[in-house]
Amino acid sequence: MINSSSRLIFFVFVLLSASCSKTDTVIPGTVKEETPSSTADVYAAIRAVFGNEIDPANLANYANQGKPSYIIKDNTGSNPITNPKATIGRVLFYDKNLSINNSIACASCHKLAFAFSDTALVSNGVLGGVTDRHSIRLINARYGDESKFFWDERSVSLEKQTTQPIANHVEMGYSGLSGRDNITALLAKLQKIGYYNELFKFAYGDVSVTEARMQECLAQFVRSIQSFDSKYDAGRALASNSNQDFSNFTAIENEGKRLFMTPPVFDANSSRIGGGLGCNNCHRAPEFDIDPNSKNNGIISLARGAGQDLSITRAPSLRDLVNTNGIVNGPMMHSGGVRDIATAISHYGGFINDNANLDQRLKPNGKNVQRLNLQQSEIASVVAFIKTLSGKNVYTDKRWSSPFSLN
């Protein structure tokens, strides 16, 4: 009902505004009281659900946020961010209607308060479903050379990634398995919701909800989530490169940066005798995105149950690992098995599991996995440095928050 009546109102509005510009003649059959006096009437369903959160006449700025000049890597491809489509992405991201029983949204597992990750080891999906791996922070997903997504890079693009959780049996449930509907039923469901009619008409010129459009909008919203207000950025903006000491850093933070950035020097037994820790070989400053060529890092356990997983070759940006209080935003790695940054660093020191898909940079002599012979002070310095990579704005900026605040 909302759908057809709002379309009617819109149609009348278009007719009237087209004719009124030339003449004051009232079109026969139209009722004067239904004449929209403002865009508020055309977007009645958006107003009713989102109040002031979404104003079609004054959308939040997703498209031109700007970025520091030293941020170069970008996987946007052929889907540049626009305000109308990213706004639809925001609505979709927070909408529980995307799950088979209206109980789970993307945001249920990617929580704003934890840099769009989950504090739970594994996340709860629909009808008792539980994910196999730990959820991933969605910070600066755009700013990396790696254009494949998921821990194992099984999705060829962010666009293709975004509707996979919907079709996943345990996550949002539109799997077509065990008698459940598939994503076609979801498209029909969304097609009947008034605010999607208005939003899609606004962004695309017609009301049609398709999987390709959902992918475009969700990917734009995810790519829009950016965080460049860290202590690191303040320092990097004043320096001519990432290796130089930063004038706003403590001596310990600069030492941590040096250790992170500098490759180790090994003896013939893969035992470190000098240099740094080599983290930047894979988590590359200043984006701290993963090197697209990296293999696994020797963490091959599963999040749940016994067995091995050699397929993990992606990590999210190491930015925003901790919140504004310096507390980690949740467990780390695909297995969720690492609960603090010091443990993550220690892993690289001497706990790497050799395996067939291990990144060979972690096995410098080709036979033994590396031993970094870490000093406690080195671990503390790198922890202090990694904490400088965290910003503040991402947790409070309205454009990434739920638009359903009225409900």
Residue 111 binding ligand HEC, by CB under 6 A: no
Shortest spacing between CB 403 and ligand HEC, in angstroms: 15
> What is the nearest approach in angstroms of ligand HEC to the Cβ of residue 361?
5
The least CB distance from residue 42 to ligand HEC, in Å, is: 28
Q: How far apart (Å, rounded) are the C-alpha atoms in residues 118 and 107?
A: 9
Residue 231 as a binder of ligand HEC (CB under 6 A): the answer is no
From 361, 363, 395, 397, residue interacting with ligand HEC (rule: CB under 6 A): 361
The answer to the question of residue 382 lying near ligand HEC (CB under 6 A) is yes
- x/- track of binding to ligand HEC for residues 173-202 (CB under 6 A): ------------------------------
Among 54, 190, 209, 277, contact with ligand HEC (rule: CB under 6 A)? 277
Q: Which is nearer to ligand HEC, 193 or 362 (CB)?
A: 362
Q: Does 106 bind ligand HEC (CB under 6 A)?
A: yes
296 in contact with ligand HEC (CB under 6 A) = yes
Restricted to residues 142-171, the positions that interact with ligand HEC (CB under 6 A) are 149-151, 158, 161-162, 165-166, 171
Binding of ligand HEC by 235 (CB under 6 A): no
- Positions touching ligand HEC (CB under 6 A) are 93, 98, 104, 106, 108-110, 123, 125, 131, 133, 135-138, 141, 149-151, 158, 161-162, 165-166, 171-172, 218, 222, 277-279, 281-283, 294, 296-297, 299, 312-316, 318, 332-334, 341, 344-345, 348, 359, 361-362, 382
